[in-house]
Chains A and B, each alone.
Chain A
Amino acid sequence: MGLLSKKDTRLILDPLADDNPITIQVLGICSALAITAQLKPSIVMAVSVIFVLGLGNVVISLMRNIIPSKIRIIVQLIVVATLVIIVDQVLKAFAYELSKELSVFIGLIITNCIIMGRFEAFALGNGPWKAFLDGVGNALGYGVILIIVGFFRELLGSGTLFGFKVLGDSVEKTGLYAIGYENNGFMVLPPMALIVVGIIIWVQRSRNSALIEEN
């Protein structure tokens, strides 16, 4: 890959696994619990965060030498807020149903700790290209977990994927439902999302014991 040096590749790939913002840094949990009951909103949320974090990191990185450090949080907030409003307006214009479904959570991207975390930890100290890669990488890592959780929650909780009834019709009793299978209502509730995230963390750390914190 001519475009990406080895270091750059790591900026993108590390957050996907061993430095995942949700499972390792334990940031951005609230939105992971709130919107993952279905797969579609999970993906929309992931894409929105990739947009906001990728672009936001570049903007902050470009301004990094002119932001007075005393008011940097306010500046960061303005940047995120602007980007989030753009996402919100685009969704309202082109995917109204989805934006209603995600409701307040698009607006709450502003409070997603991953975003402010990356601004503070990376964008303020690195050039725009690297900041862009870092932003996209972390947002991807966030998105991957969202999609895994959303997949299991929608499949087991509603028996559908993207709204398609992959396990059969639960009302007319076809497919799996014909032999007595039933949807797991617990999966639709947010506590189960926390447990699913917990299981992902468990699997990840038992595969790579270097990730286990000492206490």
Chain B
Amino acid sequence: MGLKQNLHTLKMKYKGTKMAPAFNAIHTFLYLPNETTHNGTHIKAADDLKRTMNMVIMSLVPCLLFGIFNAGYQYNVQTGDVTKALSFFSTEFWNFSNFTIGAWKVLPLVVVSYGVGLIVEFIFAVIKGHEVEEGYLVTGMLVPLIVPVDIPLWMLSIAVIFGVVIGKEVFGGTGMNILNPALTIRAFLFFAYPTWMSGDKVWVTGAVDTVGQPDAISGETILGSLAQNNGFGDWSMMDQFLGFIPGSVGETSKLLIVVGALILILSKIGSWRIILSTLVGALSMGLIFNGVVNAGWVTESSKFFGLMNVDFWQHLFIGSILFGAVYMATDPVTASQTNKGKWIYGFLIGFISIMIRVFNPAYPEGVFLAILLMNVFAPTIDHYVLEGNIKKRAKRLKLKTA
């Protein structure tokens, strides 16, 4: 008797008891259920929740792999063990030393994120007596990608518990949440433990421990350097596009995010409207700031000059706006549902992201705050889009009958 049969027997044995959802979840996650329809099916659809979630996870895997190598690479570049990588496939980047250092830091984040999150999901499924939902599979993958590598694991656990319980379960679980759970987790970490989530010490592993020593590691991101009017640092445009820069674990490689975006759009899981309008929103805000600088209203003495002076299109390559647009804003549960609503929703996310990025004195990035804010407004946007449509149709009806 294989594992599958064992699980099936357990499932039958515990049917109707409180623990049943836990066994069912493991069974359905690993195998096709034993009971399938014997006659012909009436509706054929390949995209059940499990498959949808798996597609998103698959589109995230390149980012995760890159993030693992990058965590090690950033450390080795700072200590001088490797020289800077020049092209995407250079061996300075894809080598074993980078991988082991990175994996040692990143894999625990993944394990903690999934472990803690799924335990919470299982507990709630058992208490509430419903099946375990697949919602956490994607959240659990997103969380390690949007935190700094050196975040202590206990902080991550607390944040995951908070995010899953307060961000999702209190509203009724998967599909009922108002806020994106992954971003709720990030927001919790950001407000609870700001010294671990921002500043110039957390983005490269080991930077916190070596503060003040002669071989100190700098963990400054490009955004941090720009916010202090120090320009782009030593990072070239190509570094930024390929992702050889310090930042949250999985959001540095714009190239791989674009690849992920294509997977999501082609499989019709992510909404291209939201992605596109977010980028348009970000570009418009960037253009406005460029205009302000060109008009001479803001001069080099201003503390906002560094970020305002960035060419508007470069805003897409620094920080996490691209990652947010592709993986966070498109979350079908928390985004607007109507097509017109999606345009408005996305545009405002991009617009507000860049605004917060430039004006927030404490921490020069605002993508997650902007998305959470628009999550709250998404139902309102939908409401007015619907109202508008109803009014338009009523008018048309009147014209016809008159």
The answer to whether A and B interact is: yes
Q: Once bound together, how far apart are the Cα atoms of A185 and B158, in whole Å?
A: 13
* B interface size (C-beta, 8 A): 13
Cβ contacts under 8 Å, A182 to chain B: 155, 193, 195-196
Q: A195-B166, A202-B170 are in contact. Are A186 and B191 (CB under 8 A)?
A: yes
| Docked pose: A160 CA to B296 CA in angstroms | 50
**Whole-angstrom distance from the CB of B196 to the nearest CB of chain A?**
8
State whether the Cβ of A2 lies closer than 8 Å to any Cβ in chain B: no
Q: A184 in the interface, Cβ–Cβ < 8 Å?
A: yes
Interface string of B154-183 (1 = CB under 8 A from A): 110010000000100010000000000000
Contacts of A195 in B (CB 8 A): 166
Q: What is the 8 Å Cβ interface bit string for chain A, positions 175-194, against chain B (1 contact, 0 not)?
A: 00000111011110101000
- 24 residue pairs of the A-B complex, CB under 8 angstroms, read A180-B152, A180-B154, A181-B154, A182-B155, A182-B193, A182-B195, A182-B196, A184-B158, A184-B192, A184-B193, A185-B191, A185-B192, A185-B193, A185-B194, A186-B188, A186-B191, A186-B192, A187-B192, A189-B191, A191-B191, A195-B166, A198-B166, A198-B170, A202-B170
Query: Across the interface, which residues of A come within 8 angstroms of B195, CB to CB?
Result: 182
Q: Which residues of A contact B155 (CB under 8 A)?
A: 182
Q: What are the 10 A-B residue pairs with the smallest beta carbon separation, nearest first?
A: A186-B192, A186-B191, A184-B192, A185-B192, A185-B194, A182-B193, A195-B166, A180-B152, A185-B191, A186-B188
Residues in A neighbouring B154, C-beta threshold 8 A: 180-181
How far apart sit A186 and B187, CA to CA, in the bound complex (Å)?
Answer: 10
- Interface residue tally on A, bucketed by range: 10 to 19
B106 → chain A, closest Cβ, in Å? 19
Binding site for A on B (CB under 8 A): 152, 154-155, 158, 166, 170, 188, 191-196
**In the complex, what distance in Å separates the CA atom of A180 from the CA atom of B191?**
18
**What's the least CB distance linking A192 to chain B, in Å?**
8
Residue of B nearest to A189 (CB): B191
Minimal Cβ-Cβ distance residue in B for A179: B154
| Bound Cα distance from A185 to B155, whole angstroms | 12
B154, B166, B191 interface centre (most CB from chain A within 10 Å): B191
Dominant SS among interface residues on chain B: helix
Main secondary structure of the interface of A (DSSP, over half): helix
New A-B pairs, 9, CB < 8 Å, besides A182-B195, A184-B192, A198-B166: A180-B152, A180-B154, A181-B154, A184-B158, A186-B188, A186-B191, A187-B192, A189-B191, A202-B170
A182 vs B195: C-alpha distance when bound (angstroms): 10
What chain B residues lie within 8 Å of A191 (beta carbons)? Answer: 191
Residue of A nearest to B190 (CB): A186
Question: Which of chain A's residues has its CB closest to B187's CB?
Answer: A186
Question: In the assembled complex, how far is the CB of residue B176 from the closest CB belonging to chain A, in whole angstroms?
Answer: 15
Residues of A within 8 A of B188 (CB): 186
Q: Which residue of A lies closest to B194 (CB)?
A: A185
- Residue in chain B with minimal CB distance to A199: B166
Neighbouring B residues of A187 by C-beta, 8 Å: 192
Q: Which residues of A contact B158 (CB under 8 A)?
A: 184
Q: How far is the CA of A187 from the CA of B158 in the complex (A)?
A: 13
Chain B contacts of A198 at CB under 8 A? 166, 170
Report the Cα distance A88→B95, complex, angstroms. 69
Cα separation A191 to B188 with both chains bound (whole Å):
11
Closest B residue to A202 by beta carbon equals B170
Give the Cβ gap from B372 to chain A, nearest Cβ, in Å. 12
What is the distance, in angstroms, from B115's C-beta to the closest C-beta of chain A?
Answer: 19
Inter-chain contacts of A184 with B (CB < 8 A): 158, 192-193
| 8 A Cβ contacts from A147-195 to B | 180-182, 184-187, 189, 191, 195
When chains A and B are docked, how far (Å) is the Cα of A200 from the Cα of B381?
Answer: 32
Kindly list chain A residues whose C-beta atoms are within 8 Å of the C-beta of B193.
Answer: 182, 184-185
Question: How distant is the Cα of A189 from the Cα of B194 in the complex, in angstroms?
Answer: 13
In the complex, residue of chain B having the shortest beta-carbon distance to the beta carbon of A156: B192
B27 CB, nearest partner CB in chain A, Å: 29
A186 to B194 Cα, complex, angstroms = 9
Provide the bound-state CA to CA distance between A132 and B192, in Å.
Answer: 42
CB distance from B296 to the nearest CB of A (A): 38
Bound form: Cα–Cα A189–B154 in Å: 21
CB-defined contacts of B166 to chain A, threshold 8 Å: 195, 198
Q: Chain B residues near A186 (CB, 8 Å)?
A: 188, 191-192
A206, closest chain B residue (CB): B127
A-chain residues with CB within 8 Å of residue B170 when the two chains form the complex: 198, 202
Q: With A and B bound together, what is the CA distance between A187 and B188 in angstroms?
A: 10
Please report the C-alpha to C-alpha distance between residue A191 and residue B191 in the assembled complex, in whole angstroms: 10
Cα A202 to Cα B166 in complex, Å, equals: 11
Please, which residue of chain B has its CB at the minimum distance from the CB of A185? Answer: B192
Q: Which among A182, A189, A195 has the highest number of chain B CB atoms within 10 Å?
A: A182
Distance A135 CA – B293 CA, assembled complex (angstroms): 60
Chain A nearest CB from B247 CB (Å) reads 22
A137 to B195, CA, bound (A): 43
Q: Report B224 CB to chain A, min CB distance, Å.
A: 19
A193 to B152: give the CA distance in the assembly, Å: 25
